Amino acid sequence: MSYGYFDDTKREYCIQRPDTPYPWINYLGSQDFFGLFSNTAGGYCFYRDARLLRLTRYRYNNAPADAGGRYFYINDNGDVWNPSWQPCKTPLDKYECRHGLGYSVITGARAGLSVTHTAFVPVGDTAEIHRLKLHNESSEKKAFSLFSFVEFCLWNAMDDSTNFQRNFSIGEVEVHGSAIYHKTEYRERRNHYAVFAANRENNGFDTDRESFLGLYNGFDKPQAVLEDKSRGSVASGWAPIGSHRFEIALEPGESTSVIFVLGYCENPANQKFEAPDVIRKEPALALLAKYQTDEQVDAALQALRTHWKDLLSRWQLFPGDEDPRMVKVSRMVNIWNQYQCMVTFNMSRSASYFESGIGRGMGFRDSSQDLLGFVHLIPERARERILDIAATQFKDGSAYHQYQPLTKKGNAEVGTGFNDDPLWLIIGTAAYVKETGDWGILDEAVPFDLEEGTEAPLMEHLHRSFGYTATHLGPHGLPLIGRADWNDCLNLNCFSETPGESFQTTANFESGVAESVLIAGIFLYCAPDYIEMCKRRGETEKTAQAEQAVRAMKEAVDNHGWDGGWFLRAYDAYGKKIGSHECEEGQIFIEPQGFMGMAGIGMDDGRAVKALDSVKERLDTDYGIMLQQPAYRTYRLNLGEISTYPPGYKENAGIFCHNNPWVSIAECTAGRGDRAFEVYRKIAPAFLEDIVQLHRTEPYVYSQMIAGRDAARHGEAKNSWLTGTAAWTFVNISQHILGIRPGFDGLIVDPCLPSGVKGYKVERLFRGVRYIITVDNTAGMQKGVKSVTVNGKPVSGEILSDGGDAEVTVVMG
Ligand code: BGC
Ligand code: NOJ
């Protein structure tokens, strides 16, 4: 069954029925203010921090799904419906939802009335705009009511959903005309409030949920809407909401619109009130004045489109022929993959329909990796992010695993000890320097753990990162794993027997022995870039030290990291092998096969290819590559969380999409274009539209996990949107398969293509210059570049234009 289609020219995904296999959402907002918005108008919004400054309430894990949103109700002479179908679910004559870049448009029509709801966050403002265009398509005059509805969150989403003994007494609002102000806790330490306003006079309002819904009614049966009568309620405690009622009459063919603004406003701490207990409204009035007319809204929407068009024009693929694979690749790489990279950069792993927005902060490792898919879009923001991340590093090179987006402070509750973390900073920084040529960033003074007086150049932070791994080695000379490495669930020092104890923060058995072969792979992967940076800065001693550490690490991997058919995964707290053919379960893991291949380890002696063949043979499925096999059937004290998941889910042999691109990149490194592409294609959303009923999550973005072969629901995806898969697949497709990769001195063009791709063109902005790169593969190669010319002149090595557009022709052969 089809639920929609890609509209590539408009850069939209068009959903044609509301009852999608799971809510299919979009993100509104690009910098400080964000909204999650589903295809049935569900979701919520927040300012900067989804936990601490949440404007509207959402009910996770509700039945029915997706409860809470920006809802608009029509009461057409007793016929009550929503243009977004939910929550009333009254059948619609027409429904369509178009998710675009930073905006969504839902159209619902019934009995001759068509309503188009456009939702977006204007660039530079801290508000959602919701415009409802109402059109009388019938031949009769129509008179009906339009109701709005949002439910306010009492700011801290965690308290909001738990601390009812307090919450039920603190809710406060003010109402002025069609502007409803939510000011809970403003009387004390908050100097911010929310406003929900409309651009026309209302015929009634409500601000108290119970008055509006009725105590025993759900969102699908609001008493006020059913009776077509607002109560004029002013919330005092309980649950503050914002609802307007408008009486609208339309002649046949006539249209009108109502514009709603749902915004966040702040006052200076010493200018909070305009009269005792009356909030100062200037910031809200200034905001509302910007969105009073359709022209203003259209202009803001246009500005948003231009914003995205400019951003995406920095990297565009033009598939040469009508190869249907390349059409799908381009819709991913040109639109949705880059878009998802922006979203993961902004959200980290905080707020999605699977991440509640109250849990995790910015991950040190996650954010460093998210950078990889984002850095070409807005390098200035990537720069700032790198410096923020580095400032949470400890003096010894280790790192807080997470930091809070508002304070930028390391999160003490989760703490440190994930021994892969430090290395990702090197990988993120190298990607930034290669993209921008901004070597100056390495001299930026950055503190350790935000402690004043400890500032050192960013390069010093990288030294400590590299040094941390190089000096924290176990009995086999391999890196100690600590709490966990990239795989948060491989907890080799945890030994937890207490229900509910966190596997990530508990170490009941600090073995000082458990080692990670994956960290060795990450170390060897980032070492060449790190060494290059040392060299170019003339740091000879560091260079020599690093080269020595690399030699030692390679030796350790050769002697203790190879299992005969693939790379081992780890050694546990007793020094026993994990990810070996000798193991009963968990014989082979995907991560080291990918990373060692990416690092080029074993490329010269056949081990890398052998490992990749083992991956294909033992871990591959129709829906992607599983994390390991055989799945763990029982809980194992020495392995931790990985063995808590039922077989086939999450890290226990799920298809954990994040590291599928590692394998694809390793295949490119080995020159096997067909297989690299097969790995890419199996998890790429645009290729999965036909199995969407099985896959369930949005067909335009990656999900973190697809159930593996051992699971009853093999092929079903979960955790869409906030996953490192977005960044890594962008790196894979853009830099390795299509093969256009920034180097320290310029662009490197080295494609690795599946059979049958005859050529393509990529336009890419690089260090301020537009490169128009034409790849000619009439020779039908998978890998191999015969010649490169820039503006007609033959070149070898990395390409750098000395200014002006660069026409690059690459002939494979
Ligand atoms: C999940 C991981 C996640 C970790 C940290 C685990 O339960 O399986 O994917 O990274 O929690 O929050
Ligand atoms: C999700 C986490 O955000 C990420 O940091 C981790 O690497 C993966 N899970 C694998 O455990």
Q: What is the DSSP string of 483-551?
A: T-SSSTT--TTT---STT--TTT--S---S--EEHHHHHHHHHHHHHHHHHHHHTT-HHHHHHHHHHHH
CB atoms within 10 A of CB 503: 19
* Rounded distance from Cα 294 to ligand 2 centre (Å): 44
650 alpha carbon, closest ligand? 1
Q: What is the mean pLDDT of residues 15-29?
A: 98
Residue nearest to atom 9 of ligand 2 (CA): 488
In this prediction, residue 298 has a pLDDT band, given cuts at 50, 70 and 90, of very high
Q: What percent of the chain has pLDDT over 90?
A: 97
Upstream peptide bond of 283 is cis (omega within 30 degrees of 0): no
* Rounded distance from Cα 488 to ligand 2 centre (Å): 6
* Rounded distance from Cα 515 to ligand 1 centre (Å): 20
- For 189, 256, 685, the CA distances from 97, given in Å and listed in that order, are 40, 20, 18
Q: What is the mean pLDDT of residues 577-598?
A: 98
What is the per-residue pLDDT for 803? 80
Residue nearest to atom 5 of ligand 1 (CA): 488
Residues near 575 by beta carbon (within 8 Å), at least 6 away in sequence: 475, 476, 513
What is the per-residue pLDDT for 359? 83
Residues near 693 by beta carbon (within 8 Å), at least 6 away in sequence: 1, 21
The answer to whether the CB of 151 is under 6 A from ligand 1 is no
What is the per-residue pLDDT for 765? 97
Upstream peptide bond of 64 is cis (omega within 30 degrees of 0): yes
* Rounded distance from Cα 658 to ligand 2 centre (Å): 8
Residue nearest to atom 7 of ligand 2 (CA): 486
Tell which atom from ligand 2 comes closest to the C-alpha of 722. 3
Taking 90 as the threshold, does the pLDDT of residue 444 lie above it?
yes
Is the pTM of the predicted complex or chain greater than 0.95? yes
The answer to whether the CB of 644 is under 6 A from ligand 1 is no
CA dist 476 and 580 (Å) reads 16
Tell which atom from ligand 2 comes closest to the C-alpha of 656. 10
| 365 contacts 486 by C-beta, under 8 angstroms | yes
Taking 80 as the threshold, does the pLDDT of residue 139 lie above it?
yes
What is the per-residue pLDDT for 1? 82
Sign of CA dihedral 362, 368, 374, 378: positive
- Report the mean per-residue pLDDT for the chain: 97
* Rounded distance from Cα 417 to ligand 2 centre (Å): 15
| 522 contacts 595 by C-beta, under 8 angstroms | yes
* Rounded distance from Cα 275 to ligand 2 centre (Å): 50
The answer to whether the CB of 464 is under 6 A from ligand 1 is no
Taking 80 as the threshold, does the pLDDT of residue 452 lie above it?
yes
The answer to whether the CB of 737 is under 6 A from ligand 1 is no
* Rounded distance from Cα 684 to ligand 2 centre (Å): 19
SS3 320: coil
The answer to whether the CB of 485 is under 6 A from ligand 1 is no
CA dist 405 and 350 (Å) reads 10
The answer to whether the CB of 734 is under 6 A from ligand 1 is no
Q: Ligand 1, residues 401, 489, 503, 705: which to mutate, most atoms within 8 A of Cβ?
A: 489
CB atoms within 10 A of CB 269: 9
Taking 80 as the threshold, does the pLDDT of residue 322 lie above it?
no
What is the per-residue pLDDT for 69? 98
Q: What is the mean pLDDT of residues 160-165?
A: 98
| Cα–Cα–Cα angle for 539, 545, 551, rounded to 5 degrees | 135
In this prediction, residue 510 has a pLDDT band, given cuts at 50, 70 and 90, of confident
Which long-range contacts (C-beta less than 8 Å, at least 24 apart) are formed by 57-60?
57/151, 57/152, 57/153, 57/160, 57/239, 58/153, 60/353, 60/356
Residue in the structure block whose two tokens are 């490192």: 724
Residue nearest to atom 11 of ligand 1 (CA): 488
The answer to whether the CB of 750 is under 6 A from ligand 1 is no
Q: Is 488 a catalytic residue?
A: yes
Taking 80 as the threshold, does the pLDDT of residue 636 lie above it?
yes
* Rounded distance from Cα 1 to ligand 1 centre (Å): 33
Tell which atom from ligand 2 comes closest to the C-alpha of 369. 5
> What are phi and psi for residue 258, nearest 5 degrees?
-125, 130
Q: What is the mean pLDDT of residues 270-282?
A: 97
Taking 80 as the threshold, does the pLDDT of residue 360 lie above it?
no
Tell which atom from ligand 1 comes closest to the C-alpha of 651. 8
Taking 80 as the threshold, does the pLDDT of residue 321 lie above it?
no
Look up residue 282 and give its two tokens.
């200037």
CA dist 295 and 299 (Å) reads 6
Q: Ligand 2, residues 345, 411, 641, 658: which to mutate, most atoms within 8 A of Cβ?
A: 658
**Residue 54's closest CA among 128, 149, 144?**
128
Q: What is the mean pLDDT of residues 718-731?
A: 98
pLDDT digits (tens, 9 = 90+) for 228-272: 999 999 999 999 999 999 999 999 999 999 999 999 999 999 999
Q: Ligand 1, residues 504, 632, 655: which to mutate, most atoms within 8 A of Cβ?
A: 504
The answer to whether the CB of 488 is under 6 A from ligand 1 is yes
CA dist 238 and 234 (Å) reads 11
Q: Ligand 1, residues 362, 487, 488: which to mutate, most atoms within 8 A of Cβ?
A: 488
CA dist 317 and 319 (Å) reads 6
Look up residue 406 and give its two tokens.
């508002």
- As to burial, measured by CB atoms within 10 angstroms (0-12 exposed, 13-18 middle, 19+ buried), residue 784 is middle
Per the document, the length of the chain is: 813
Residue nearest to atom 10 of ligand 1 (CA): 488
What is the per-residue pLDDT for 494? 97
What is the per-residue pLDDT for 702? 98
pLDDT digits (tens, 9 = 90+) for 455-495: 999 999 999 999 999 999 999 999 999 999 999 999 999 99
| 297 contacts 259 by C-beta, under 8 angstroms | yes
| 763 contacts 774 by C-beta, under 8 angstroms | no
Upstream peptide bond of 91 is cis (omega within 30 degrees of 0): no
Q: Ligand 2, residues 366, 420, 518, 721: which to mutate, most atoms within 8 A of Cβ?
A: 366
- As to burial, measured by CB atoms within 10 angstroms (0-12 exposed, 13-18 middle, 19+ buried), residue 494 is buried
* Rounded distance from Cα 570 to ligand 2 centre (Å): 17
CA dist 66 and 74 (Å) reads 20
Sign of CA dihedral 607, 613, 616, 618: negative
Lining residues, ligand 2, CB within 6 Å: 349, 363, 365-366, 486-489, 651
The answer to whether the CB of 26 is under 6 A from ligand 1 is no
CA dist 239 and 6 (Å) reads 40
pLDDT digits (tens, 9 = 90+) for 663-675: 999 999 999 999 9
Residue nearest to atom 2 of ligand 1 (CA): 488
Taking 90 as the threshold, does the pLDDT of residue 556 lie above it?
yes
SS3 assignment for 257-301: EEEEEEEEEECCCCCCEEECCEECCHHHHHHHHCCCCHHHHHHHH
* Rounded distance from Cα 415 to ligand 1 centre (Å): 15
Taking 90 as the threshold, does the pLDDT of residue 643 lie above it?
yes
Q: H or E element: which one contains 312?
A: helix 294-312
Tell which atom from ligand 2 comes closest to the C-alpha of 365. 5
Look up residue 636 and give its two tokens.
């194992």
The answer to whether the CB of 650 is under 6 A from ligand 1 is yes
* Rounded distance from Cα 497 to ligand 2 centre (Å): 23
Residues near 666 by beta carbon (within 8 Å), at least 6 away in sequence: 593, 594, 595, 596, 597, 598, 608, 612
Tell which atom from ligand 1 comes closest to the C-alpha of 360. 12
Choosing from 220, 228, 488, 563, the catalytic residue is 488
Taking 80 as the threshold, does the pLDDT of residue 149 lie above it?
yes
The answer to whether the CB of 489 is under 6 A from ligand 1 is yes
> What are phi and psi for residue 287, nearest 5 degrees?
-65, -50
What is the per-residue pLDDT for 361? 80
Tell which atom from ligand 2 comes closest to the C-alpha of 360. 3
356 alpha carbon, closest ligand? 1
Residue nearest to atom 5 of ligand 2 (CA): 366
What is the per-residue pLDDT for 406? 85
* Rounded distance from Cα 185 to ligand 2 centre (Å): 36
369 alpha carbon, closest ligand? 2
Q: Ligand 2, residues 488, 628, 652: which to mutate, most atoms within 8 A of Cβ?
A: 488
The answer to whether the CB of 504 is under 6 A from ligand 1 is yes
CA dist 802 and 185 (Å) reads 57
* Rounded distance from Cα 365 to ligand 2 centre (Å): 8
**Residue 338's closest CA among 700, 760, 688, 32?**
700
